[in-house]
Amino acid sequence: MHSKEFRIFYIVFFLVTIGLYSCFAQTANKLKIKHTVVAPVPNYSKSGQSRDPLILIDGKLASHKILWLDNNTLGWENYGQITIDLELQETSSVSKIAIHTAKNEAAGVYLPLNINIFTSIDGNNYSYAGDISGYDESAVNTYKAVELQNDKINSNAKFIKLVINPQGRMFFTDEITITGKSKSLSLFQSSNILSKGQLQNIISKNKSAEINRRALIDKLYSMTGNANNKNEIRLQLLNEKDLANQQIYQKYQSLISGLSVSKNTVEGLSFEVLSSPWGNGKSEGKSKLILTPTNVTHYVAVRVKNNQNKEVSSSFVLKGINNIETSVYETQEINTRSSKNVSDVLLPITVNSKLDFNPGETKVLILALKSSQERKSAINLSLTGSNDQALVIDYQSINLGIDKNYKNTLNFNVNVWPYYTYPFFKGREQQIKQDLADHYSNIFVIPAKVLEPNNITTNHNSLINYLKNYQAGDKVMLFINHKGYVKSPGNYMQASWQKKFLTWYDTIYKILKDHNISDQDIYLYPFDEIRENELPLFKSFATWVKSVRPQSQIYLTIYYEKFLPQVQPLADVYQLLVKSNDLGLIKPNKGHEFWIYDIMDDSKNVDPYSRYRLLAWKAFQYNARGIGFWAYGDQFGSSVWDDFDGGQGDYNVVYDKGNSIIPSKRWEAFKQGVEDYFILNKYQQKFGEAAAKKLALQVLSVPTNQEKAEDIRRIMTQQLSK
C-alpha cells in the first residue's frame, strides 16, 4: 500500500501533467483586446475620419477600396513617432502581432520604417519583443494594402506597446490583431526590463537600421553589375540585423560600389562632362563649349569614377581660370524622408582638397563659373591618379547688358520666406543674408510674433532687432495673420479694433521709415493661402485700410485660382500656388502684380530642374513678376541632415556646417532659373514677346528633358550676341 505522502505526490504529478499537456496542446488563437490608447491623437484631416482608437480592435477592416478614405481608419500626418498601447483581456502567451495598413507613394503614403514591439505584465515594466519591418518591394507609386506582422514573438504579456517609426508624411491603420494562447506556461515578466532610456534607444537603433537598409538597397538597384551578385547582396541586406552600426553600413557601401568595377576597364580614375548639372545627365565626353552672358553663373557637371577594386585618394587641379570667378563642389547624397538616396548636397572644395573614392565609386563635381567681364579661356581640369588627359572647358562670356542696374530695373521678385526666427537661422544670420542676396531673394517677410499686431503697449524691440537682417531695397511683407479671426472674431473690424490697429500700424510704419524703407516697399500680409471662409474678412479689412491709409499696400498668397476674382481687385501683389492651378487662365491686371510660388513637400526629394529651375520659366511664360517657394530654412527636428528626426521632412534648400551654410543642387538650380529669366527678358526686348515665349514653351513642354533649358539658353545667348 502506498504511503499517504506518495499518494499526494502522485495526485499532484497527475494534475501538473494534465495541465502541461493541455497548455502545450492549446492552439494559438486571436486574443481578445480589452482596451487601446494611441498617441498622438490621429490628425488626418479628411472629413468624417474617425479618431476613436477602439476601431483598431473591432475586428472590422475598412470597406473602402482606399484605406485612408474609409472612416473606419486612423490616420496620422507629420508625426515622427506614433505609439499604440494595447491591453489584453488576460495575461497570455503572445506569438504573433499583425497590423493592417496600406501605401501609395504617389499620394504621399508610405509603409512605416518599422514597428517596435514591447510587452509587459503590469503595464509599467516593459521588455523588448522584436520589431516588424515595413520594407516592401512592390512597385512604387501604386496602391497596396498590407498586413505587417511578426509571428515569432513568444512573450508573456497583458500589455503591448507598439511604437511606429513612420516613413513619409502619413501613416494609416484600421485593424490590429494579436495571436497567442490565453493561458501561458509561466506568467512572469521577462527579466530584461527596460528603462525609458533603453526603450527609446532600441526604437532609435531600429529606425536607423531601417533607414540604412533602404538607402543601401536603393543604391544597390542603381548600380550596374552582375545580377546574381546584386541579388546576393540584397538578401544579405534584408537579413542584416546590425545596420545601425556604421562600420557594418560602410562595409555594405564599399561592397555595393565595388559591383561596378570591370576587369576590362582601364585602371585609374576616369572623368567626363555631363549634359546637365541637376540630374542624371548624359556623357558629353572630355570637353565642353560654354557661351554665357557676363554676370550670370554657368554650371558644369563632371563625373569621376574610380575604376579600381581598391580605395583611391585624389585631388583636382584647375588651370586657365583667368579671373573667372570659380567655385567647385563635390555632390553628396542625402537620405530623404521617402528613403531615397538623392545627390543634393553641394560641398565646397578647393584645389588640392583630397577626394576619397571607394572601389568602383563614382563622384560628381559641379563647377560654377561666372565672369563680370567678357573673357575667353580654355579651362583645364585634371585629377591626380587619372590616366586620362585633362578635361577642357572652352569658356566664353559675352556682355549682353545683364548687370546690376538691369536686374534692378527689371523688378523681378523672389520670395523664399526666410524667417530669421527659425532655429536654422540662429548664429548664421549674416551668411544667410548674403546667400539670399546672391540668389536674388528680395522679399523680407516679418512674422507675426515679431510684429505683435495690435499690441500698442510693446516697445517693438523684437521688430527693431529683426530689422538688422533687412537688406536695402527689399520689399517688406508684414505678416499680420488675420486667420484666427475666422473662428474667434471678437471685436474684429469694430471701431475699437480699428482704432487700435491704426495706432499699431502707424507706429510700425514709422519704425520702417526710420530704417530707410520706402512707402512703395511696405505691404500688409493679412492672410496666407487664403481660404473661402476668410474672403469676407479680407475684403472688409482691405477695403477699410486702403480708405483710411491710402498708402497701404496688400500682399497675400492664394491656394486656389477660383478666389482670384474676389482677391485681385484689392491685392497689390497676389502670389498663386502653381500646383493644381492653370496659370494660362490668369489675366494679370495693371496695378495688381501677379507672382507664383510652389510648396516643396519632401523638398530634398524634389527635382532641382523641373520644380526649382523651371519655376522662373513659368513666370516668364505666364507674365508673373515674381516667384518663390516654401521655404529657405524651415527645419523639423534637430538637424537638416536628417529627414527622420522630426514629424516631417525639412523644407531647406541649404545645409549647415557649424555656422556656415552649404548650398544644395535645388538652390543653385533655382538661381540659374532666375538668371534664365534675365536672358529671356533680354531676348524678348530684341526679338519680341512671341519669339521669346515660343522658346520658353519649348522648355516647359518637356519638363523632364534637363538638356532643353541648356540648349535654349545657349541659342538665346548666341542670337543676342550677334
By three-state DSSP, how is residue 146 classified? strand
Report the percent of the chain where pLDDT is more than 70: 94
C-alpha 610/C-alpha 672 separation (Å) is 12
Of 194, 209, 244, the residue that ends a domain is 194
C-alpha 199/C-alpha 573 separation (Å) is 52
Residue 474 confidence (pLDDT): 97
Contact criterion met (CB below 8 Å) for 605 and 635: no
Quick: pLDDT tens for 73-131: 999 998 999 999 999 999 999 999 999 999 999 898 999 999 999 999 999 999 999 99
Does residue 259 lie within any of the structural domains? no
> Which residue in 673, 697, 704 sits closest to 299, CA to CA?
673
**Cα 52 to the chain's mean position, in Å?**
30
Of 348, 363, 398, the residue that ends a domain is 398
Of 175, 194, 213, the residue that ends a domain is 194
Q: Is 667 exposed, middle or buried (0-12, 13-18, 19+ CB in 10 A)?
A: buried
pLDDT bucket at 387, cuts 50 / 70 / 90: low
C-alpha 451/C-alpha 347 separation (Å) is 36
Residue 626 confidence (pLDDT): 98
Provide the residue range defining the domain that includes 611: 404-720
C-alpha 107/C-alpha 541 separation (Å) is 37
Beta strands in 442-490 (DSSP E): 443-446, 475-479
| pLDDT surpassing 50 at residue 21 | no
For residue 169, count other CB atoms closer than 10 A to its CB.
19
* Predicted TM-score of the model (pTM): 0.89
pLDDT bucket at 676, cuts 50 / 70 / 90: very high
CB proximity list for 291: less than 8 A, separation 6 or greater: 396, 398, 714, 717, 718, 721
Give me the DSSP letters along 250-293.
HHHHHHHHGGG--TTSPSSEEEEEES-TTTTPPB-TTEEEEEEE
Q: Which three cell numbers stand for residue 496?
A: 475699437
Does residue 423 lie within any of the structural domains? yes
Q: Which three cell numbers stand for residue 229?
A: 551578385
Span 684-710, mean pLDDT? 97
β-bridge partners, 381: 318, 391
C-alpha 567/C-alpha 532 separation (Å) is 11
> Which residue in 200, 239, 194 sits closest to 216, CA to CA?
239
| pLDDT surpassing 90 at residue 66 | yes
Do 456 and 519 reside in the same domain of the chain?
yes
Do 567 and 513 reside in the same domain of the chain?
yes
Do 188 and 285 reside in the same domain of the chain?
no
Quick: pLDDT tens for 207-250: 999 999 998 998 898 887 788 999 999 999 999 989 999 899 98
Give the CATH number of the domain where residue 289 resides. Answer: 2.60.40.10
pLDDT bucket at 13, cuts 50 / 70 / 90: very low
Give the CATH number of the domain where residue 108 resides. Answer: 2.60.120.1190
Go through the chain and tell me how many residues it has. 722
Give the CATH number of the domain where residue 588 resides. Answer: 3.20.20
Residue 545 confidence (pLDDT): 98
Do 111 and 146 reside in the same domain of the chain?
yes
> Which residue in 584, 586, 582, 552 sits closest to 568, CA to CA?
586
Domain count, the chain: 3
Does residue 441 lie within any of the structural domains? yes
Contact criterion met (CB below 8 Å) for 485 and 530: no
Quick: pLDDT tens for 274-309: 999 998 789 999 999 999 999 999 999 999 988 888
Q: How wide is the angle at C-alpha 421 spanned by C-alphas 420 and 427, nearest 5°? A: 65
Do 546 and 574 reside in the same domain of the chain?
yes
